């Protein structure tokens, strides 16, 4: 007798071992048809999985997150199946699920083309329509190696050779195609209906640049046609908003091969940068932070003491002088401790808050670089709070409130909160991790924030809260963070004199709100589609004359606005006014002021707001009041 406990708590008895599919069928024909997989005692398995003892079971359908994962995993195999049907000489390697889809890497004698993707996708649809069963079998490791070598699949054989000799491996077959995989998979190819191949890329075998360059095919797969279409629409919109494209069109910045992973800021882009930095600098001043500045190059010995040398050496740029080895700083925290250690600190000095717009460098792989979102040189709005144990909870709660205000000012109101807990490789005792993780969770509860647990994703020295923005397209961007750190003050021997006259270790809170300014500006550009609010726009208003007769009046209007502290572009070119309006509109300026004879005679301006909104004629004073109100309230036009 096998007893199955279902999610609603009800129980069903079966005379002997029973498969997930059989349980689903016993519940109802509709569920049996919808079943993609099962979750037995928390483990996702195929519908063919046989349950031999009393277990808890959930039937997984396309409505479940686990179901979508199984669909995408199975669609990756369907892609490989189609490629082998069309290109028999191609070798298959690996094909994992990724966010929103999957990819599969292939070795083939010629590059695949976009035209090939169309043919492959069509073949996938044909194979799916056959509704071929997907069946699992298990082989001893060495037998599996020999099997794949006989098929000419040497990459698969190499993967299996890395598995211990005493282990069995599982294979999944659909039609004429069989692949190495742990599973689970959908019961048959007919369950795979809503997919699309997206793009081609290169990828080194096993991620090692010394190995062969493989061809990677990316795809996406969804449970319904509507979900697939929504995703494709979102991607189209994301392409329009791509910060790299808008950076060129709006003349903000560029990336050059002479300095890969580093940003050349143009005048307009640097104006935007300064807008973000000066705003954050005011945030520092208003919230008790003292701004500091540390050196770019620090002796290797400091990074060894902090543990960064062992953990991050391969991502650090190093240099040598007079037989001493140095590193460009990848983060600012050790420098802030050295500043804290200068002079005797008392408990009365705490909490002591340091802030720095610190320039950091990390030797990111070239394949991971992405516009200004992922670079090798970046600036953080970095800050560290030195405090006592008793001050941790309030400081963390106050930081969350500050971060919420900053994000709101930049137009973000949807924030996702996660507490990243201890990783497998870490320093510090379990007692330390228990205490610090609890403090972070309590601070979020104190702030009234619902949060998720990101198990094992903390830094090697401390747990952290991760604050992620949700943008207009529903994408998540992790920007802010706060970490409780006892280890670094211990390693670098920092102290303060307590109320009892004894020496104590301070607690160090690592915190950032926008994180990398480069990345945050990229997010802002994509969120606004380049139509930045007036307070951030590099050019806030353009003044356009209709004919030369109004040139002098246009100059005086522009001068008046500049004297008000506004960023103004004066366009006196001998061009048609419709041409000038269109050209400046494409630059997504908040306001255009048109002056003709009528406006000049009345001492007024004709105002056009972004998006082609005609606000009519108004006095210059009235316009100044409007735009300064927009800037003061950080309004989005």
- 414-423 pLDDT, tens digit each: 999 999 999 9
Q: What is the mean pLDDT of the chain?
A: 93
In whole angstroms, how far apart are CA 82 and each of 122, 385, 465, 548?
Answer: 9, 56, 44, 66
Give 358's contacts (C-beta < 8 A, 6+ positions apart): 293, 294, 329, 331, 332, 335, 379, 380, 382
Q: What's the mean pLDDT in 7-11? A: 91
In whole angstroms, how far apart are CA 160 and each of 89, 138, 171?
Answer: 20, 13, 11
Name the DSSP class of 110: S
> Tokens 């001493």 correspond to what residue?
324
What pLDDT is recorded for position 426?
A: 86
Which uninterrupted H or E stretch holds 383?
A: strand 377-387
Is the pLDDT score of 600 beyond 80? yes
Name the DSSP class of 363: -
Nearest to 554 by CA among 614, 594, 607: 594
What pLDDT is recorded for position 166?
A: 86
Let me know: does 551 contact 574? Beta carbons within 8 Å.
no
Is the pLDDT score of 312 beyond 90? no
441, with CB counted inside 10 A (0-12, 13-18, 19+), is middle
Q: What is the pLDDT of residues 509-548, one digit of tens each?
A: 999 999 999 999 999 999 999 999 999 999 999 999 999 9
Q: What's the mean pLDDT in 115-127? A: 97
Q: What's the mean pLDDT in 388-417? A: 95
Is the pLDDT score of 155 beyond 80? yes
Let me know: does 198 contact 218? Beta carbons within 8 Å.
yes
Q: What is the pLDDT of residues 329-386, one digit of tens each?
A: 999 999 999 999 999 999 999 999 999 999 999 999 887 889 999 999 999 999 999 9
What pLDDT is recorded for position 637?
A: 54
What pLDDT is recorded for position 602?
A: 95
- Binning pLDDT at 50, 70 and 90, where does residue 492 land? very high
Name the DSSP class of 341: T
Helix 65-86 with 114-129: angle, nearest 10 deg: 110
Q: What's the mean pLDDT in 208-219? A: 90
What pLDDT is recorded for position 428?
A: 81
Question: What is the CB neighbour count within 10 angstroms for residue 23?
Answer: 24
Name the DSSP class of 368: G
Q: Is-cis flag, bond preceding 19, omega within 30?
A: no
- Write out the catalytic residue numbers: 333, 362, 380, 382, 384, 464, 510
Residue 156, both tokens = 């698969």
Alpha-carbon span 203 to 617, nearest angstrom: 58
Nearest to 405 by CA among 531, 282, 525: 282
Residue 480, both tokens = 């802010």
What pLDDT is recorded for position 553?
A: 97
Let me know: does 600 contact 615? Beta carbons within 8 Å.
no
Name the DSSP class of 49: P
Q: What's the distance, CA 172 to chain centroid? A: 33
Question: What is the CB neighbour count within 10 angstroms for residue 75?
Answer: 31
What pLDDT is recorded for position 472?
A: 82
Q: What's the mean pLDDT in 597-626? A: 95
Is the pLDDT score of 573 beyond 60? yes
Name the DSSP class of 376: S
Q: How many CA atoms lie within 13 A of 510 on its CB side?
A: 26
Which uninterrupted H or E stretch holds 198?
A: strand 194-204
Alpha-carbon span 342 to 345, nearest angstrom: 8
Name the DSSP class of 109: S
The terminus-to-terminus CA distance of the chain in angstroms comes to 68
What pLDDT is recorded for position 526?
A: 94
What pLDDT is recorded for position 365?
A: 86
């Amino acid at each position: 007798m096998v007893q199955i406990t279902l999610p609603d708590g009800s129980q069903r008895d079966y005379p002997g071992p029973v498969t997930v599919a059989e349980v689903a069928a016993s519940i109802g024909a509709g569920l049996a048809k919808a079943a993609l997989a099962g979750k037995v005692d928390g483990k996702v398995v195929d519908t063919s999985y046989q349950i031999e003892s009393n277990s808890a079971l959930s039937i997984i359908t396309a409505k479940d997150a686990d179901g979508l994962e199984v669909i995408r995993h199975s669609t990756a195999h369907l892609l490989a199946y189609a490629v082998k049907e069309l290109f028999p000489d191609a070798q298959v390697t690996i094909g994992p699920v990724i966010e929103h889809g999957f990819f599969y890497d292939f070795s083939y004698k010629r590059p695949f083309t976009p035209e090939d993707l169309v043919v492959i996708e069509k073949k996938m649809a044909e194979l799916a329509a056959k509704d071929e069963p997907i069946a699992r079998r298990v082989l001893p490791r060495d037998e599996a190696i020999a099997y794949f070598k006989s098929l000419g699949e040497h990459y698969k054989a190499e993967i299996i050779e890395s598995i211990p000799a005493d282990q069995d491996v599982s294979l999944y077959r659909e039609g004429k195609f069989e692949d190495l995989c742990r599973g689970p998979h959908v019961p048959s190819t007919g369950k795979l209906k809503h997919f699309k191949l997206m793009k081609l890329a290169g990828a080194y075998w096993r991620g090692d640049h010394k190995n062969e360059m493989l061809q990677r095919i990316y795809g996406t797969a969804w449970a319904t046609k509507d979900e697939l279409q929504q995703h494709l629409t979102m991607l189209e919109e994301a392409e329009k908003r791509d910060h790299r494209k808008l950076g060129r069109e709006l003349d903000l910045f560029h990336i050059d091969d002479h300095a890969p992973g580093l940003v050349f800021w143009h005048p307009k882009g640097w104006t935007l940068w300064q807008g973000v930095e000066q705003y954050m600098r005011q945030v520092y001043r208003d919230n008790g932070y003292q701004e500091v500045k540390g050196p770019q190059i620090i002796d290797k010995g400091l990074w060894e003491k902090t543990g960064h040398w062992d953990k991050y050496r391969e991502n650090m740029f190093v240099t040598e002088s007079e037989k001493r080895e140095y590193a460009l700083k990848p983060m600012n925290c050790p420098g802030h401790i050295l500043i804290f250690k200068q002079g005797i600190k008392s408990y009365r000095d705490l909490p002591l808050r340091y802030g720095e717009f610190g320039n950091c460098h990390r030797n990111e792989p070239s394949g991971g670089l992405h516009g200004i979102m992922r670079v090798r040189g970046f600036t953080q709005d970095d800050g560290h709070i030195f405090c006592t144990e008793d001050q941790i909870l309030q400081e963390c709660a106050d930081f969350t409130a500050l971060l919420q205000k900053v994000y709101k000012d930049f137009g973000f109101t949807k924030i996702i909160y996660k507490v990243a807990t201890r990783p497998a490789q870490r320093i510090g005792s379990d007692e330390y991790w228990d205490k610090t993780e609890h403090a972070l969770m309590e601070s979020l509860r104190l702030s009234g924030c619902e949060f998720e647990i990101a198990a094992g994703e903390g830094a090697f020295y401390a747990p952290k809260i991760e604050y992620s923005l949700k943008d207009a397209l529903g994408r998540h961007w992790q920007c802010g963070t706060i970490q409780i750190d006892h280890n670094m003050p211990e390693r670098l021997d920092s102290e303060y004199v307590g109320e009892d006259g004894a020496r104590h270790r301070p607690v160090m809170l690592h915190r950032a709100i926008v994180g990398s300014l480069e990345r945050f500006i990229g997010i802002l550009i994509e969120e606004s589609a380049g139509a930045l609010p007036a307070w951030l726009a590099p050019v806030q208003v353009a003044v356009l004359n209709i004919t030369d007769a109004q040139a002098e009046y246009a100059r005086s209007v522009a001068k008046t606005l500049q004297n008000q502290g506004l960023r103004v572009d004066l366009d006196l070119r001998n061009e048609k006014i419709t041409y000038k309006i269109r050209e400046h509109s494409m630059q997504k300026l908040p306001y255009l002021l048109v002056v003709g004879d009528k406006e000049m005679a009345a001492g007024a301006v004709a105002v056009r707001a972004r998006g082609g909104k005609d606000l009519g004629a108004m006095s210059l004073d009235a316009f100044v009041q409007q735009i300064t109100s927009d800037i003061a309230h950080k309004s989005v036009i």
